[in-house]
A and B are shown apart, each in its own frame.
Chain A
Amino acid sequence: MTVLARLDAVTRRFGEVLAVDDVTLDIHSGSILGLLGPNGAGKSTVLTMLQGLRRPSSGTVSLFGGSPGDYRTRQKLGCTPQETALPPTLRVGEVIDFVGRHFEHPLTTAAVADEFGLGEVLKRQTGALSGGQKRRLSVALAFVGQPRLVLLDEPTTGLDVDARRTLWDAVRRQHDRGATVVVTSHYLEEIEALAERVVVMAHGRVIADDTVSAVINQVSLRQVRLVTEHPDRVSGLPGVVARETGDDGATTFYATDSDRLIEELVRSGIPFAGLTVRGATLEEAFLTLTGATDAAASSTQIAQKEMHR
């Protein structure tokens, strides 16, 4: 496995905002790497630095051993435009052909169209495409140049389930043909469907870097919220990893298995009221887990996060 791209102690500021905070990351050939995290976690900033669109405030970003800012380095890189950005008066075939001509060994326009289900609309202007077709064209453009590394930023956000699966299938086929893919998403489902390795980002930092199954086990937390006089006793029940006390007197407990927790709660006879259960968001789950060894610390983290909102 060779390293295709590397971020070494990379920090990127936008004025006062710290978008990426001391991130070190290797992207190895042959895998699909999922970059998971809530909006504003710094995923897109990492991608734009790999694309050469932005420079890090400190640290180094290298692509194929060179600088992403040099256009020759990007010969083996594939990126997607936002689907709203496609030039509306150009035909689908013209756009694919135009992009292909930047690369030494492009796929034929017909092959690209076939692979991404665009054969029917090659002659159509991109402004006349449906949302799903535009998205497929945008993703297809990343593969036209037969790149070694492909960066996909939120490739299926806003698509319906069928369109999403079609696109995932196409991406997986391209990966099987040898492309290394980095895909950002804030959907765990998308990462689960595509990726082998997951890097989770929150607040500009990498907070987990593991296999998909390991991360899924970590993040499938549930929130159990209730009012009780004895929060410490509830915390002692099996499966509780963290807790957070709200202003209204209710306490939120984060548990790996909420059903089991409630069974145990009822059996223990601890008095409680106002029980609600819901899934924790990825961000909540991760912020909780990073401080799971110390429930109090994790509560502070969550409180701080709430204050930032």
Chain B
Amino acid sequence: MTGAENPDKDLPPEEAGSQSQSQGQSEGQSQAQTQEPVPEGAAEPARDPLAELLSGYAPFEGVPDELMDDQGNVRPVWKDFLDRLAAAPDEEIDLACARGSQYLRDAGVFFRHYGPDSHEERDWPLSHLPLLIDEAEWQQIAAGLVERADLLEQVMADVYGPGQLVEGGLLPPELIAGNPEWLRPMVGVPPRSGHYLHMLAFDIGRGPEGQWWVLGDRAQAPSGAGFALETRMATARSFPALMAETNVARLAGFFRGFRDALLALRAEEDSRVAILTPGPMNDTYFEHAYIARYLGFLLVQGEDLVVRDGRLMVHTVGGLRPISVLWRRLDAEWLDPLELREDSQIGTAGLLSALRSGGLTMVNAPGSGVLETRALMAFIPAIARHFLGRDLALPNIATWWCGSEEAQDYVRENAGRMTIDRALSTSLPFDHSPDAVIGGKHLDGSAWDPDVLAREGGRLAAQQIVSLSTAPALSERKLVARPASLRVILTRTSQGWQVMPGGFARIGQSGTSADVSMQRGGSVCDVWVVGQQQAPDDTLLAATTDARPSLPQLAALPTRAADNLFWLGRYSDRVEQKIRLQRAYHLRMAEYGRADMPLIEMLAGYLDSMGVEAAKPLPEGLMADLEAAMGSAGRVRDRFSTDGWNALTDLKRTADKLAPRLKPGDDAARALSVLLRKISGFSGLVHENMYHATGWRFLSLGRAIERAWTTSGVLAAFSDPAAPVGAYEIAIEAGDAVMTHRMRFSATFTRETVLDLLLLDENYPRSVLAQLDDILTHLDWLEKLTADFSRKPSPIRRAVMKLQTELATARPEEIPPERLVQIAAACADLSGLLAETYLR
């Protein structure tokens, strides 16, 4: 709802009338309906691999095909590629596809599917075969789109500036004045950089005459750059050799150009570039996190930001830091509750004021969504002639705004070849509103009433229905023809617009209907721009000569991210602790076969106090903590290793799978051991592999504080001399110290040995004292970042030092049971003290 525009929701153009049939079909039905006819008895004596690959490849009537010319010959750009592909053994093609899909799963690429019941994460629907386009043709496309981008900048500058297009009759005032995307607070606010637009995307398709058409202009907050990159990486995994042998243009230079351009837009050297995301519940959040990580920009949400004296600042653990370039992935209406939507919870009050003060560049300027207005396309040709004195090289599909009688008459006569929909819609032309009319019919198949044109003409726009060209996709080791459209992304650099050489194409699912909506099973493929010469190897990283991150960079961890990492540390350790205690319970149940023994009752009571119902093998109180850990991790995907994330999801999946089948006792204990190994794997990955920057410090602080608290809590209960026999052993088990205890002491547990090891031994990494030492090390680091010269110890440092001094010098017998209760309470308070100093 709140997100930047989403590539997944777009539907492709299609043949007149077919929309009404496919509407409401389930995925399964439409697959069944459109299965390819499999040729039978085609066993040839002499095997021609290329012919076999192409057997059954049937381009559609009346539209061009990207692979074959109208004589059925393979086009030159495809020739070498296809020969090599055909020469590969069938199994290799299967493996190649599997490699690509595996890459995406491992990389954690997903899109969020908005269903009626859930917002689930789905695999990115990769169509493994790339779409090849000849470099010479691509250059024509690129030049046409650059020309169009320049024109859109001029339109934008006029509707937020002098308004001459309306005054001169080139734009009807209704399309602006009644347009929710035309933001009045932005009128008369010149962009700091001199430009309103810095990134645009175009959906283009090839029509029946071979000419490319623009299907839609995306100017609000275009998505797809990150997805294009991931799609490229997956395809490179699938076909590494083929890619090396084909002269494919690389994408890294494009991203480097954009990154450098954004850095150059900064107002002052010490300010940052940030990417503004609506947050993890947005359908393209993965892309936001991915691109932030790839380009090295901060990923922020509205609540991270604040405006101070006209400057935009981000709350970080090192205090407020300036941001002077904000790449927004948020639709403009949500940006600023003071001047735009008042109910926005994801914006920042004063953001527009910061723009007005001239210290901030937004990519793109708020209000650029007005360029996506469907009816605007009706006027672009005339505006192009007005501004450029010529027609655009890459025109948009024919569009009529139904506000004039002349247009109404034309649309009435030709409705059979048109879609009629809302004039102010910003959806792509194949993404219909419920009251759309396609080929003279409503979506439910009923006939339309042409009088609607006279009644509400100005609210409607009509667009010609264009058929798209087809491109090859792999199906059952054979090539099949599918309708395709391209998303091409442009960014502005100091030298003008640069065009991403490639991008991605949407591939329709069926051979009869042109429906490429991914939500109904359509897919996306890489686009290879193929040149005469081998493109030089190029990666974004090669250009990064930055040495180790500087202190200000390290301090710029947004407070919200620090908070989430801290709680990830706490929850994941809490899960581990609960699993250990829960396992101890079920082991004893297995041993004694009854629950009415003092020790088992004590254990159950203790688990109950932690919100865990001991009698259940995998109680909700444990699963809820696991979900909380995943929730925290999900909100900091940009700072979190993919392997770590996968380890967590794997743990959750295993737990979900095991839960319904488990029996209490031995069975449960063994399952809990499996989960324990998995969560240890997660902790290991995070703590071994994560760069020891500020984020890792907060994660570690979370773990240390949680562990100090739970361990001292366990000791308070289970080292009590009044506890039932066997309690000391449980404390040792909960502290994972059975082996160590045996080595340091003997097989006999006493209160003193238990406290010595788990409370006071600085060399045992799970002891309370070791946690306090850890916390102090992390605090040393954080204090350097925040550069507080007052030298007054923070409340958390004072609290930790007090405890640390006590434990470092105490002997086990000097600590009475009631003191342990106080120590546990003091450890519990550390969380709030840390937040007070660093997380607000």
Are both chains from one complex? no
